Homo-oligomer: A and B are copies of this chain.
Amino acid sequence: MTATELAALVGGEVVGDSEVAVGGVADLASAGPTDLSFVSDESWVVAAKQSAAGVLVVPRELELRCTQIVVDQPRLRFAELAARLVVPSGPSGVSEQVVFGEQVVLGTDVAIGAWVSLGDRVRLGDRVVVHPGVVIGDDCEVGDDSVLHARVSVRAGTRIGQRVVVHDGTVLGADGFGYEAGPAGLVKVPQLGRVEIEDDVEIGANVCIDRATFGVTVVGRGSKIDNLVQIAHNVTIGQHSVVVAQVGLSGSVSIGDQVVIGGQVGFADHVKVGDGARIAARAGVIRDVAAGAVVSGAPAVSHARAVRIHAVSARLPELRERVRALERRLRALEAADPKGI
């Protein structure tokens, strides 16, 4: 694509040779004359002058030999353009080393790698890419343009939307963790629901999203889940929310839209988190969180309150010393003025 075509996609202004063509993206240090790169802010200008990139996305016009595309948010615009330019590595065509169940339906231009197993009545949309070693159970659907990386498990009945990306080793739809105490031990509660992943979701590697006991466990449109996250049965995550690595969402937790959850956070079951809330890394959330709230700590409280609590707890030895000093001084006063006792 030419600089002019790229600029048109992001509403930018071209400075320099508008006909220069680029075929890939790279960082400033490694970019060559056919690569697009970007300048995030002023601190990158020196590196930009040394870069061999063919075209740069920049926040203002710079003194450079290469062509520039001037935009308001260069990181965002570069990311948008990269999505067009980066050709992902992966299988092309359908491998002969695939086991198909009955009544499988494949869209156009589907690619499936080796050692893949598809159950009965699986439906894959157009341009779906299934990497090697993926196992898809009966009655699953995968929407157009979605990518399942190597060795993903998609258990029976799971529905995956369009443009979804699931990274290696992730398990969608394993049984939720539910038992009833019986006289001879724990009796498994049947996990009869399913998992639904809406459009434009990305899920990291080795994540676990359990099927619902009844009904459905949902990850909403545009939400992003990092590696090694646990999402228990009947959890609902809204739209455009972000869940960082190693978070644990217990059964029936409900997360709103545009919520941000830091790494290693844990939630008690049935907790509800309102839209736009932000939960600091490593928080332990045992009560509902209001829309727009910012919470931290374990148990989590408002971030402002947590900062105040932490200011004291970090200086507890000094606080105890002050109490000891008070005790000494009070004893002295009492000794001097015994009628007060």
Residues of B near A27 (CB, < 8 A) are: 192, 213-215
A30–B215 CA distance with the chains assembled, in angstroms: 9
Question: Which of A14-22, A63-71, A127-135, A287-295 contacts the other chain?
Answer: A127-135
Q: In the complex the two chains form, is A179's CB within 8 Å of B99's CB?
A: no
In the assembled complex, the Cα of A92 lies from the Cα of B147 at a distance in Å of: 28
Q: Which of A134-182 contact B (CB under 8 A)?
A: 135, 137-138, 149-151, 153, 155-156, 165, 167-169, 171, 174-175, 177, 179-182
Please determine whether A89 and B284 come into contact, CB atoms closer than 8 angstroms. no
The chain B residue sitting closest to A100, CB to CB, is B114
Digitize A92-109: 1 where CB-to-B-CB distance is under 8 Å, 0 elsewhere.
000101010000000000
Residues of A that sit less than 8 Å from B by CB: 25-27, 29-30, 73, 75-76, 79-80, 82-83, 86, 89, 95, 97, 99, 113-115, 117, 119, 131-133, 135, 137-138, 149-151, 153, 155-156, 165, 167-169, 171, 174-175, 177, 179-182, 185-190, 192, 200, 202, 204-206, 208, 210, 213-215, 221-222, 224, 226-228, 230, 232, 239-240, 242, 244-246, 248, 250, 263-264, 266, 268, 281-282, 284, 298-299, 301, 308-314, 316-317, 319-320, 322-323, 326-327, 329-330, 332-337, 339-341
In angstroms, how far is the closest chain B Cβ from the Cβ of A309? 5
- CB-CB under 8 A for A340 and B337, given A174-B167, A266-B281: yes
How far, in angstroms, from A248 to B86 measured CA to CA in the complex?
A: 29
Interface CB pairs A-B, < 8 A, 19: A76-B180, A79-B188, A83-B190, A99-B113, A113-B135, A133-B135, A153-B205, A208-B228, A230-B263, A245-B250, A250-B281, A309-B313, A309-B317, A311-B317, A312-B319, A312-B320, A323-B326, A333-B340, A337-B337
Beyond contacts A29-B214, A308-B317: 13 other A-B pairs, Cβ-Cβ < 8 A, are: A26-B192, A79-B180, A86-B190, A132-B135, A135-B150, A151-B153, A153-B168, A169-B171, A177-B227, A186-B240, A230-B245, A308-B316, A330-B333
Return the contact of A186 from the options B99, B224, B281 (Cβ within 8 A). B224
Contact B153 A150 (CB under 8 A): yes
Inter-subunit contact B76/A187 (CB<8 Å): yes
Q: List 7 tightest A-B contacts by C-beta distance, closest first.
A: A27-B214, A336-B340, A333-B340, A312-B316, A82-B190, A117-B132, A153-B168
Is B186's CB under 8 angstroms from A222's CB? yes
Q: In the complex, A114→B155 CA distance in Å? A: 15
Whether A95 contacts B86 by the Cβ 8 Å rule is no
Chain B residues with CB below 8 A from A320, complex form: 312, 319
Contact (Cβ within 8 A) B230 A138? no
CA distance A264 to B245 in the complex (A): 12
| CB-based contact B214/A244 at 8 Å | no
Chain B contacts of A89 at CB under 8 A? 119, 137-138, 155-156
A75: which of B174, B180, B186, B224 is its contact (CB, 8 Å)?
Answer: B180
**Interface hub of A156, A177, A192 (most chain B Cβ within 10 A):** A177
**Within 8 Å CB of A82, what residues of B?**
189-190, 192
| A151 CB to nearest chain B CB (Å) | 6
Report which of B244, B268, B281, B341 forms a contact with A177, defined as CB distance below 8 A: B244
